[in-house]
Amino acid sequence: NGSQAEALIKSTIDTFGQIDILVNNAGTTRDKLIMKMKDEDWDVVLSSNLSSVYNCSKAVVRPMMKKRSGRIINITSVVGLTGQAGQTNYAASKAGIIGFTKSLAKEVGSRNITVNAIAPGFIPTALTDVLPEQQIQAIIETTPVGRLGTVEEVAAAVLFLASDEAAFITGQVLSVDGGLVMQ
């Protein structure tokens, strides 16, 4: 929630003197067809995946604006770009992050703060560990590079967007998906 995010940012600034980079990386699913989805399934996913981005970003914007620099990097998903049956809540939360990223980039860009998103494809994590092997093989077959991505590849994209080399990049969504979603 907002007060927890404020306390986290304050603690970080108290410890390190300033905050230069915020990476919003939260993700949970409660997959169900919408006819079977409960309000709680919707609320938990939107709160964890989208409201957390709002709360942490809101808490960090003022200190970043004061020092006239910062990087905010939001982790979304290719599902936020494509949608997925049984994931209306997850897709809505991840698509919401994309709209949030673009809007916030316009609000804070004049203060030398960049806001970008990374949309990973299928990366082996706790969220994908529950998928049946047959589904994973189908994903691999439809991914142009013919494999799943790695956590390290997503981390490399985060490092790039946090770097000085990315100072002129803002409001963008970088897909790290092996070509799964080509636009």
68 in Cβ contact with 111 (< 8 Å): yes
- Known catalytic residue: 90? yes
Task: Tell me if 123 sits within 8 A of 154, measured CB to CB.
Answer: yes
**Annotated active-site residue in 57, 71, 76, 90:** 90
**Residue 174, SS3?**
strand
Q: How far apart are CA 133 and CA 109, in angstroms?
A: 43
Strands (E), 60-121: 70-75, 113-120
Active site residues: 90
